[in-house]
Structure 1
Amino acid sequence: SFGNTVGYGADFHISTSAGRLVTAGLYMLCLILVATFTANLTSDLTISKTKGIVSGIDDIKKGIIPLNRIGIRDGTTSEDYFLREISANSRSFYSVQTQNELYDRLLDGTIDAALVDMSTAEYSINNIYCNLTLIGDGFNKGVFGIVTPKEWLYGKDLDVNILLLRESGELEMLRKKWFQTNYCLHSYETSTSKTVDSMRGLFLVFTIITFLSLLLFIWSNLSIFKIYLSEWMETKRQTSATLQCIPV
């Protein structure tokens, strides 16, 4: 019964060795399952509390983070976007001179968030600054060009080859290879949940214990089984003899 398994409210006492063995197996099974569930729940709650305090640029615009806690590199398109769309030309952000300084200020807690170019940020966070993460989707998409001399001999060839690379998907493959390759194992990407497959060893052990309990029960009651078997065979023999004595 459930009460006998968890140790409360049991309405009968186990008197056989096989029953005690099954009960011990149930105790261990329930103990491990409850401990695993508690550990997974605690881990999931901890991870959910450590996720970013913002989910995208809209939260920045809503003022969830103070503007002086947002880092931006001087002279970048991120600075232009911030002045135009967020602060109304007020330079209230935390100013830095280099990209590495921006990441360092995030790590030491000087700032809470930063507006950076997505391509370079993907490479840096996936390969160098493993304790940082990107939040939200890209915004303020711009267009970049390649500067060449006027009437350059290979200008048309360059345009054609770039177009072919884009249409064939080669540019996207290069972007994924050099900017999205992830050598950092981020904790928020690691699942802590336990599946049935990962715990099949536990259920296998309980199955073995149950099978051994059945064998123990049969062995401990072997004499009783022999008596029942002999009585059944004797009854069958007497019935057969009675049928033979009936006159035709």
Structure 2
Amino acid sequence: VVSGIDDIKNGKIPFSRIGILVGSAMEDYYLQEVSSGSRNFYSLTSITEAYDKLLSGVIDASIIDVGPVEYATTHIYCNLTLVGADFDASAFGIVYQKGWIYAKELDVNLLSLREQGVLDTLRTKWFEGGDCSQTDDSGTAMTVESMAGLFLTFGVISILSLLLFVWLKRSVIKDYFKSRKRRRTLVITQNTMKEEHPQETVGEQFVHL
């Protein structure tokens, strides 16, 4: 049983049974701080694969970013647990378009939420107190209930992104609907003319007969 990153470095478990996500920051950390450049770990292609390999006993431990794994081990995979203190700390960021007009507003609001303790409250709600703290270790399957909060968060973000896109592209959308309206008027006019023309031709043929 490992109790932290030092046990990994000291070889308490075989390196081949340590799962590392290829191409991630954790791979860089492992190569620099643990194996001295040797790729002697078990290669993983996704975080989901890490959970599956841990549950099936293929690997004994995995080094993963604390954000996603903290949520997963408290809400979804109750048979898995985090051990040891945080190491190689890094920060999360929000990416937006350069020169975005709401950038300053976003910074001010995020700072306000942090000062008011709202961000800490959300972290405690979604990452520290989960379904696994109220159930036994038998629940490992992902359920709709356990993911409801995550779905809600993604839904709100998607709606806000859509509204922002519509707002930024409002002139293009307005021009598009105007052009469609003009084309529709033109088609209706042309169809009316075609319907009137055959009637005149039939009349001329009747006169000749």
TM-score range, shorter chain: 0.5 to 0.7
Pair 1:74-2:22 in alignment:
yes
Q: Which amino acid aligns with 1:162?
A: L
Partner of 1:95: 43
In the superposition, relative to structure 1, how do residues 85 and 188 fare at CA in structure 2: closer, same or farther (>3 Å)?
Answer: farther
Q: Find the residue that maps to 2:11 and give its secondary structure.
A: coil
Written as runs of structure 1 = structure 2, the 5 A alignment for 1:30-179 is 53-179=1-127
8 Å contact from structure 1 (residues 123, 181) kept in 2: no
8 Å contact from structure 1 (residues 126, 184) kept in 2: yes
Residues 81-134 of structure 1 show CA distances to partners (whole Å, capped at 9, x for unaligned) of 101110111111101111111011111111111101112111111111111111
8 Å contact from structure 2 (residues 20, 44) kept in 1: yes
Q: Which amino acid aligns with 2:92?
A: F
Q: Which amino acid aligns with 2:20?
A: I
Partner of 1:34: none
Larger radius of gyration: 1
In structure 2, stretches of 5+ residues that fail to align are 138-209
Partner of 1:23: none
Q: Which amino acid aligns with 2:113?
A: L
Residues 9-45 of structure 1 show CA distances to partners (whole Å, capped at 9, x for unaligned) of xxxxxxxxxxxxxxxxxxxxxxxxxxxxxxxxxxxxx
Q: Which of 126, 129, 154 matches 1:181?
A: 129
Distance 2:117 2:68 in 1: 20
8 Å contact from structure 2 (residues 78, 136) kept in 1: no
Distance 1:187 1:79 in 2: 33
In structure 1, stretches of 5+ residues that fail to align are 1-52, 190-248
Distance 2:134 2:29 in 1: 29
Shift of 1:182: 2.0
8 Å contact from structure 1 (residues 126, 180) kept in 2: yes
8 Å contact from structure 1 (residues 68, 94) kept in 2: yes
Instruction: Tell me the TM-score normalised to structure 1 length.
Output: 0.52
Q: Which amino acid aligns with 1:145?
A: G
* 4+ aligned runs moved over 4 Å, structure 1: 185-189
Which fold has the larger relative contact order, with Cα–Cα distance below 8 Å and residues 6 or more apart in sequence? Answer: 1
Instruction: Tell me the TM-score normalised to structure 2 length.
Output: 0.61
Partner of 1:194: none
Distance 1:110 1:63 in 2: 17
Shift of 1:149: 1.7
Q: How many residues are aligned here?
A: 137
